[in-house]
Amino acid sequence: MRRLLGSALWVAAAVATVAACSFSAGTSVSVDNDELAKEISAQLEKQGGRAPESVECPDNLKGEVGATTHCTLNDAGQTYGVDVNVTRVEGTDVRFDLKFDDEPH
């Protein structure tokens, strides 16, 4: 139960903070889905003190302002949705915001 409570508090902290992330997309202007999942996990670890068990993103993120994708975060037996929205693109640098579901699925 302690881990579940910790996970709930961790997700609540993530929900309260919309993160602006920056990621270098390499030669093409898109972020690979696996790299996007790693970046989301790293941002959560930075903000919440630990990474979730897993983050999965089914699609690459286009390097265009307004482009979106939906990822899933799994931790302590619960799954949360994560909406990713591109806010700025400068060359191959893609900045995006994250919005987490208020409650698990």
Q: What is the pLDDT of residues 49-75, one digit of tens each?
A: 889 999 999 999 998 999 999 999 999
Phi/psi at 102 (5° precision): -70, -30
Residues 6 or more apart whose Cβ sits within 8 Å of residue 53: 74, 75, 76
pLDDT, residue 61, reads 92
| Residue 22: pLDDT band with limits 50, 70, 90 | low
Residues 6 or more apart whose Cβ sits within 8 Å of residue 91: none
pLDDT, residue 47, reads 82
